[in-house]
Amino acid sequence: MKYFFTVFICKIFILLLKLMGKKATSAPGKLAFKLYPDILKEYQGRVKKEIIAVMGTNGKTTTNNLLADFFEEAGYNVVCNRIGANMDEGSLVAFLNKTSLFGRTNIDYACLEMDEGWAEYILNFITPSKIVVTNLFADQLDRYGSMESIMEFLKKAIRKAPNATLILNADDPISCAMAKEFENEKVYFGIKDKLSEIETSLNEGKNCFVCGQPLEFEFRHFSHLGKYKCLCGFERPENEFNAKDISLFPAVDFEIENYGRLTLNSRGLYNVYNTLAAFSAATKCQVEFEAIKRAIEKYKPQTGRMEKLSIKGKESYLILAKNPAGFNLSISAIAEDMRKKDIYLAVNNRISDGVDVSWLKDVDFSPIINESTISFTTAGTKATDALKRLKEQNAFNCTSFDDMKSAIENTISNSTGDVIYFLANYTALYETKEILDEVRI
């Protein structure tokens, strides 16, 4: 009775919030936990097939949403926290949204993105059969403390699911080192061959997390993602799911070895990895390639995931980047576009972003500081810091604004390029999106 009463109250609360124009992604979950602290446990037995947890630093939301799309295209009913509400309340609200007013459910799969710091707690209530780890990079170190701390958070979560299959990025030595101590079944995905002669910066992943010695890289696709080995015997494992023959512009197009070719409605090397991660999990759940291919053809990126916009008739892109790795991957994707471009860069340091933005020193803007970039405009609470980093790398035609709307209007009105890129971290992204929705035609 407690379950049915809690669902009834929270469903009405969700409806009221939506009528008020609210997103209702977390608040109903907080109310539900107060009414019935163990309510999330109720859903473990209500999922007919599998619960899949998606964790890692970058790409969780895209990977999780793609995975849910694959299942839905195959005809399954799916629970998914699609907009990145990845703490306990967000997971619970995803279930509540798929529950009737009187507590009835029809759920085949649950795809749940989980914040690294909250995953262990969430797994006190539900146990996934598969855990996808997209990658591990330094992120919000004022919150997590160190890369070792992030790894320990994930280890604690995995220990809660000793029978879960781990789906891992073989190209990421940090993820693979983290998972090495577990006896869980492991499935690996990665990019088979060297992509480019361009070397990117190498920070947190240069030393082996098994023994501490420097890693030897045969090649790197980006940062520490590539083909590696260590004198201690640790090396990149063999992949079950390999991407090859990759084209990154104007759209991502690649083959998954032994399965077929995919063309994405998005750009950037990171979307190869996101797609591979979701593909690996779905294929292990017996979803057929043709259903996956159809889902990818229909897929539209979420807000800020290389989201294509038309701003006063000009092609534009809104891109979320939350940490150095995210910024550097996004910059690499922008650099692939050789058209004339104007770039807007917004950096906030609110609690959700991480207060310490000293990580800006690890962002390499040099690939887009060239003749194809006409102007840079910085905004946000750390606009001055972003401007300083650009000038340290000899960027030209740079302007900074305290007010985000002024920065956006300046970028649009003075743009003489073929395309505008709006690059923003977490809270700055949603502020930027709201303003763009006001000004675009």
- pLDDT by residue for the chain (441 residues), tens only, comes to 899 999 999 999 999 988 888 877 789 989 999 999 999 999 999 999 999 999 998 899 999 999 999 999 999 999 999 877 788 899 999 999 999 999 999 999 999 999 988 999 999 999 999 999 999 987 655 566 678 888 999 999 999 999 999 999 999 999 999 999 999 999 999 998 888 766 677 777 889 999 999 999 999 998 899 999 999 999 999 999 999 999 988 889 999 999 999 999 888 888 999 999 999 999 999 999 999 999 999 998 777 778 889 998 899 999 999 888 889 889 988 998 999 999 999 999 998 888 888 889 989 999 999 999 999 999 999 999 999 999 999 999 999 998 999 999 999 999 999 999 999 998 999 999 999 988 875
Please answer whether residues 214 and 208 qualify as being in contact, where contact means their C-beta atoms are separated by less than 8 angstroms: yes
Give first-to-last CA distance, the chain, whole Å. Answer: 51
Cα–Cα distance for residue pair 277/20, rounded to 1 Å? 37
Q: Annotate 304-363 with DSSP letters as a single string.
A: TSSEEEEETTEEEEEEE--SHHHHHHHHHHHHT--S-EEEEEE---STTT-S--GGGGG-
**Hey, which residues does 152 pair with through a beta bridge?**
none
Please tell me whether residues 279 and 311 are part of one structural domain.
Answer: no
Please tell me whether residues 352 and 203 are part of one structural domain.
Answer: no
3-class secondary-structure state, position 118? coil
From 252, 267, 298, the end of a domain falls on: 298
User: Can you give the pLDDT at residue 197?
Assistant: 65
Tokens of 345: 């860069």
Please tell me whether residues 87 and 147 are part of one structural domain.
Answer: yes
From 279, 298, 317, the end of a domain falls on: 298
Please tell me whether residues 66 and 22 are part of one structural domain.
Answer: yes
Please tell me whether residues 283 and 410 are part of one structural domain.
Answer: no
Please tell me whether residues 185 and 290 are part of one structural domain.
Answer: yes
Cα–Cα distance for residue pair 431/426, rounded to 1 Å? 9
Name the residue type at position 232.
C
User: Can you give the pLDDT at residue 84?
Assistant: 72
What is the residue range of 357's domain? 307-439
Indicate which CATH number applies to the domain containing 135: 3.40.1190.10
Cα–Cα distance for residue pair 66/83, rounded to 1 Å? 12
Please tell me whether residues 13 and 141 are part of one structural domain.
Answer: yes
Cα–Cα distance for residue pair 118/349, rounded to 1 Å? 21
Please answer whether residues 251 and 297 qualify as being in contact, where contact means their C-beta atoms are separated by less than 8 angstroms: no
Please tell me whether residues 103 and 214 are part of one structural domain.
Answer: yes
Count of the separate structural domains present in the chain: 2
Please tell me whether residues 93 and 157 are part of one structural domain.
Answer: yes
Please tell me whether residues 268 and 374 are part of one structural domain.
Answer: no
Please tell me whether residues 228 and 355 are part of one structural domain.
Answer: no
Please tell me whether residues 118 and 263 are part of one structural domain.
Answer: yes
Residue 251, number of CB atoms within 10 A of its CB: 12
User: Can you give the pLDDT at residue 83?
Assistant: 78
Q: Is 353 exposed, middle or buried (0-12, 13-18, 19+ CB in 10 A)?
A: buried
User: Can you give the pLDDT at residue 195?
Assistant: 85
From 230, 263, 298, the end of a domain falls on: 298
Indicate which CATH number applies to the domain containing 319: 3.90.190.20
Tokens of 36: 């019935």
